[in-house]
């Protein structure tokens, strides 16, 4: 059932009070930019972070706002709390914030597969936002979000039957440590003649592989996440499980291979999608060209298709290389790019929070 427990409503301004938990992190920084760029639906915006960050001042909506420490009292009077914190922090503090009457929008992986927590993409399943018996709404992972808006539009028209995906994931998906590692590795290999013999890149970077199992500079690493059964990674299983939940297809066959590439920000994916009946490229292009949150950028003959260099810093999902499968008239092939820090994390969280704000106002 819907959670409408906050009986006192928004604060004195007539607009809801928002808390940003994890405001000083990589995604939190992008979140503050997004809040300053979008329509202002909030009253007070309270910035919350770990005690070591308390007292810092950050700009939001053109004003300097002081960061307060993450405590129970920090959620007093909060209507909506957006969490961008590690799983263990969300597990402890998100239910506490909800118990104090805030609607929590959580960007960690803690609650995504909880049957009592909706997993929401506003362009695909906005209705799910009201069904939150725990007072928590989950934000999907950045890899899923990089493709699901486009897939949702195609599914609504054609009916998705099977999905095969390969991801090419930017290092910022591993946080600040991932970005720092790539930059350090690039400085170590710059100007050297590498890539001509096995192991030369690894020897150049030494032990500086950071959060990755292999060097990512001048390389691609077919692994993201942590080990799971039968050789799958946690990141691959996220894409499968989250896609099924968002689209309402619990038995959807999904195969995923996640690959880390030497790109700072913006995930890319190749998508092979099979549908219930025969599809045409013209109809698929028409759907994608008019779908909210999607940009169709698809003219290979003119060198036009999305790449991370085109997409970084933008909000939509970009789609190109749209074609029908060679041997299957029911399947489409796509190449998709999405900024993993914007729509892939902060923007989708903000969009969910805005749906809740509209409900509370």
Catalytic residue of the set 127, 142, 258, 337: 142
Q: HEC string of 216-275?
A: CCCCCECCCCCECHHHCEHHHHHHHHHHHHHHCCCCCCEEEEEEECCCCCCEEEEEEEEE
User: How far, in Å, CA of 135 to CA of 333, rounded?
Assistant: 38
Quick check: is 142 catalytic? Answer: yes
CA dist list (Å): 352 to 104, 140, 175: 10, 11, 22
Q: Is 169 one of the annotated binding-site residues? A: yes
User: How far, in Å, CA of 92 to CA of 239, rounded?
Assistant: 25
Q: Which of 301, 303, 296, 339 is nearest to 320 (CA)?
A: 296
The secondary structure element, H or E, covering residue 150 is helix 142-158
Q: Is 340 one of the annotated binding-site residues? A: yes
Q: Is 112 one of the annotated binding-site residues? A: yes
Q: Is 20 one of the annotated binding-site residues? A: no
Quick check: is 127 catalytic? Answer: no
Strands 267-275 and 331-338: antiparallel
Q: Is 26 one of the annotated binding-site residues? A: yes
Catalytic residue of the set 127, 155, 258, 267: 267
Q: Is 173 one of the annotated binding-site residues? A: yes
Q: Is 52 one of the annotated binding-site residues? A: yes
Q: Which residues are the active-site residues? A: 142, 267
**Annotation: binding site for phosphate:** 112
**Annotation: binding site for substrate:** 169, 260
**Annotation: binding site:** 24-27, 52-53, 112, 169, 172-173, 260, 340
């Amino acid at each position: 059932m819907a959670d409408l427990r906050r009986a006192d409503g928004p604060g004195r301004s007539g607009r809801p009070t928002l808390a940003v938990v994890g405001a000083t992190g990589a995604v939190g920084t992008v979140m503050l930019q997004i809040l300053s760029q979008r329509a202002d639906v909030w009253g007070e915006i309270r910035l919350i972070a770990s005690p070591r960050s308390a007292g810092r001042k950050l700009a939001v909506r053109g004003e300097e706002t002081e960061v307060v420490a993450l405590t129970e009292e920090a959620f007093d009077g909060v209507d909506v709390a957006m969490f961008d914190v590690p799983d263990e922090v969300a597990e402890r503090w998100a239910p506490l914030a909800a118990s104090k009457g805030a609607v929590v929008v959580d960007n960690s992986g803690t609650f995504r597969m909880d049957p009592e927590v909706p997993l929401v993409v506003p362009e695909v399943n906005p209705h799910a936002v009201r069904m939150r018996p725990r007072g928590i709404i989950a934000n999907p992972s950045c890899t899923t979000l990089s493709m699901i808006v486009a897939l949702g539009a195609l599914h609504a028209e054609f009916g998705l039957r099977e999905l095969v995906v390969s991801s090419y994931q930017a290092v910022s998906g591993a946080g600040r440590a991932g970005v720092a590692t790539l930059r350090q590795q690039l400085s170590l290999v710059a100007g050297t003649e590498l890539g001509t013999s096995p192991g030369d890149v690894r020897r150049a970077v030494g032990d500086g592989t950071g959060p990755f199992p292999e060097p990512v500079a001048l390389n691609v690493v077919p692994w993201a996440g942590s080990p799971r059964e039968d050789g799958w990674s946690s990141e691959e299983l996220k894409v499968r499980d989250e896609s099924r939940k968002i689209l309402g297809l619990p038995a959807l066959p999904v195969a995923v291979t996640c690959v880390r590439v030497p790109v700072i920000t913006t995930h890319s994916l190749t998508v092979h999608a099979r549908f219930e009946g025969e599809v045409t490229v013209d109809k698929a292009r028409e759907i994608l060209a008019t779908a909210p949150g999607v940009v169709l950028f698809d003219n290979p003959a003119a060198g036009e298709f999305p790449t991370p260099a085109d997409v970084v810093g933008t909000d939509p999902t970009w789609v190109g290389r749209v074609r029908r499968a060679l041997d299957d008239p029911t399947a489409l092939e796509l190449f998709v790019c999405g900024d993993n820090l914007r729509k892939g994390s902060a923007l989708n969280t903000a969009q969910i929070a805005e749906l809740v704000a509209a409900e509370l106002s």
